[in-house]
């Protein structure tokens, strides 16, 4: 008996030491105290929907005593530069536990962070309602679908460095917005796949039918759309019926403008990548769907998914044509290629392994470095009201990365 106690106590001591060591490491990584009214930490396991390898995204900022909106606004106003530096360092900040209720308050906090908010959502991929001049509803995509990981406006060279979400109404079920450090995704990949992404431009090919131009380009005239596409380096073509085809290519790796860290902004538009996410959350779906996500042969799965116009990016309720977005990797011969089945699986697994997946709480403000960190949306049920805003537009063509130094 005493021997058993001894062994157990040795294990406990070892585990305790390990836990203390890990928490000391974590504490060392946290920023120094800024105000006696706030506390910094990373998300606890009990705040997450799934446990993954990501333990340090986002940095949580929460009140110790004073939770009012006024206290948060004053904190941000006095320390905006400091918060912006933390966003560069950690990739994402979560203001949790403060009393934030309205779109105007959300916008106010972003302005106090000195974000130059964008008023227009050109190239958008969803129907959005405007809540203030610079705050929009997030995507209203069907609740049973997963919106795959992406960086906002990945197909446009002039894109937001800053992206924010505000939880006005908690989802009644699920509806998480997982976030992923893109450098960690890249580091997770096999050398072959790293080499492929570092040397193959990703080409986005988009079609917008005439009747959806107003959703994608808001109030812009044809001439203004053409000018914007020219400035963005797109190849584009107007069809006789007024619909628009446009495409552009980039190497998806570049250096962060302030930290020099690797940013890996790839939107795969590949159903077999997203399938890895559906597989992991399959228990959230009815039995028939679970079988479909987990066991259907890959070729059949891909054919069925593509047949359901899952590439559609802006759909109204009419029977007219949908907008489509496809992504290809351009090979050495200049041909458009798709990821292989094995590559898609590997990529999807790397995304999931490094994702931070946590339920929303009312009043949460999540601010994301859109160059470093990708986001997505899991399946959900209404009501769910997540508002969004973005800004600090930057041009990724100015951010070359020394690819050879990274992958040889
Ligand atoms: Fe998005």
Q: Which domains does the chain have, with CATH numbers?
A: 34-407 (3.60.130.10)
CA–centroid distance, residue 139 to ligand 1 (Å)? 7
**Which pLDDT belongs to residue 124?**
80
CA–centroid distance, residue 265 to ligand 1 (Å)? 12
**Which pLDDT belongs to residue 161?**
96
CA–centroid distance, residue 152 to ligand 1 (Å)? 5
CA–centroid distance, residue 153 to ligand 1 (Å)? 8
Closest CA to 366 of 186, 176, 126, 184: 176
CA 399, 87, 181, 33 dihedral sign is positive
**49 touches 358 (CB < 8 A):** yes
The Cα–Cα gap between 342 and 251 comes to 21
Please state the φ and ψ torsions of residue 12, each to the nearest 5 degrees: -60, -45
CA–centroid distance, residue 400 to ligand 1 (Å)? 24
The Cα–Cα gap between 74 and 28 comes to 27
CA–centroid distance, residue 150 to ligand 1 (Å)? 6
CA–centroid distance, residue 165 to ligand 1 (Å)? 10
CA 15, 17, 20, 22 dihedral sign is negative
The Cα–Cα gap between 213 and 222 comes to 9
CA–centroid distance, residue 244 to ligand 1 (Å)? 22
CA–centroid distance, residue 131 to ligand 1 (Å)? 17
CA–centroid distance, residue 307 to ligand 1 (Å)? 23
- What is the distance of C-alpha 115 from the center of its chain? 18
**Which pLDDT belongs to residue 31?**
66
**Which pLDDT belongs to residue 21?**
44
pLDDT tens digits for the chain (408 residues)? 333 333 333 334 444 444 444 444 444 466 666 778 899 999 999 999 999 999 999 999 999 999 999 999 999 999 999 999 999 999 999 999 999 999 999 999 999 999 999 998 898 867 778 889 899 988 778 899 999 999 999 989 999 999 999 999 999 999 999 999 999 999 999 999 999 999 999 999 999 999 999 989 989 999 999 999 999 999 999 999 999 999 999 899 999 999 999 999 988 889 999 999 999 999 999 999 999 999 999 999 999 988 765 444 444 444 457 888 899 999 999 999 999 999 999 999 999 999 999 999 999 999 999 999 999 999 999 899 999 999 999 998 888 766 555 554
CA–centroid distance, residue 365 to ligand 1 (Å)? 15
CA–centroid distance, residue 163 to ligand 1 (Å)? 9
CA–centroid distance, residue 276 to ligand 1 (Å)? 19
Please state the φ and ψ torsions of residue 169, each to the nearest 5 degrees: -130, 125
CA–centroid distance, residue 147 to ligand 1 (Å)? 8
Residue 262: enclosing H or E segment and its boundaries?
Answer: strand 262-264
CA–centroid distance, residue 6 to ligand 1 (Å)? 54
CA–centroid distance, residue 138 to ligand 1 (Å)? 8
CA–centroid distance, residue 280 to ligand 1 (Å)? 21
Closest CA to 355 of 274, 297, 300: 274
Q: Burial-class residue 148 by CB neighbours within 10 Å (0-12, 13-18, 19+).
A: buried
The Cα–Cα gap between 224 and 241 comes to 18
**Which pLDDT belongs to residue 3?**
35
User: How many residues are present in the chain?
Assistant: 408
Closest CA to 61 of 385, 365, 388, 375: 365
The Cα–Cα gap between 94 and 166 comes to 10
Closest CA to 250 of 208, 199, 211: 199
CA–centroid distance, residue 370 to ligand 1 (Å)? 10
Location of structure tokens 């073509």: 237
CA–centroid distance, residue 169 to ligand 1 (Å)? 18
CA–centroid distance, residue 238 to ligand 1 (Å)? 27
């Amino acid at each position: 008996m005493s021997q058993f106690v001894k062994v157990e106590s040795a294990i406990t001591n070892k585990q305790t030491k390990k836990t203390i060591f890990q928490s000391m490491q974590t504490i060392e990584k946290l920023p120094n105290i800024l105000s006696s009214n706030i506390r910094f930490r990373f998300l606890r396991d009990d705040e997450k929907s799934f446990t993954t390898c990501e333990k340090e995204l986002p940095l949580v900022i929460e009140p110790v005593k004073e939770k009012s909106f006024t206290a948060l606004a004053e904190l941000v106003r006095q320390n905006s530069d400091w918060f912006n530096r933390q966003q560069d360092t950690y990739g994402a900040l979560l203001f949790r536990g403060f009393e934030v209720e309205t779109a105007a308050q959300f916008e106010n906090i972003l302005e106090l962070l000195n974000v130059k908010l964008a008023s227009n959502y050109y190239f958008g991929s969803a129907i959005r309602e405007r809540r203030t001049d610079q705050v929009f509803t997030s995507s209203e995509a069907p609740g049973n679908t997963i919106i795959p990981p992406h960086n906002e406006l990945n197909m446009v060279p002039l894109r937001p460095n800053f992206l924010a979400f505000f939880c006005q109404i908690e989802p009644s079920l699920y509806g998480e917005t997982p976030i992923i450090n893109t450098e960690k995704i890249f580091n997770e990949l096999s050398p072959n796949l790293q080499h492929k992404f570092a040397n193959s431009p990703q080409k986005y090919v988009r079609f917008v039918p005439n009747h959806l131009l107003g959703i994608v380009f808001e109030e812009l005239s044809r001439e203004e759309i053409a000018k914007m596409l020219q400035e963005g380096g797109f190849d584009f073509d107007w069809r006789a019926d007024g619909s628009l085809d446009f495409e552009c290519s980039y190497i998806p790796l570049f250096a962060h403008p302030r930290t020099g860290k690797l940013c890996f902004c790839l939107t795969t538009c590949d159903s077999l990548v997203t399938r890895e996410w559906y597989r992991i959350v399959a228990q959230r779906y009815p039995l028939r769907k679970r079988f479909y996500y987990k066991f259907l042969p890959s070729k059949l799965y891909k054919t069925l998914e593509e047949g359901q116009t899952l590439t559609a990016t802006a759909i109204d309720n009419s029977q007219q044509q949908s907008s489509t977005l496809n992504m290809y990797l351009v090979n050495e011969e200049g041909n458009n290629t798709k990821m292989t089945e094995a590559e898609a699986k590997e990529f999807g697994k790397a995304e999931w392994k490094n994702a931070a997946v946590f339920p929303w709480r009312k009043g949460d403000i999540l601010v994301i470095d859109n160059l470093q960190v990708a986001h997505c949306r899991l399946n959900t049920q209404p009501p769910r009201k997540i508002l969004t805003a973005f800004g600090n537009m930057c041009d990724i063509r100015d951010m070359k990365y020394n690819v050879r130094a990274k992958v040889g």
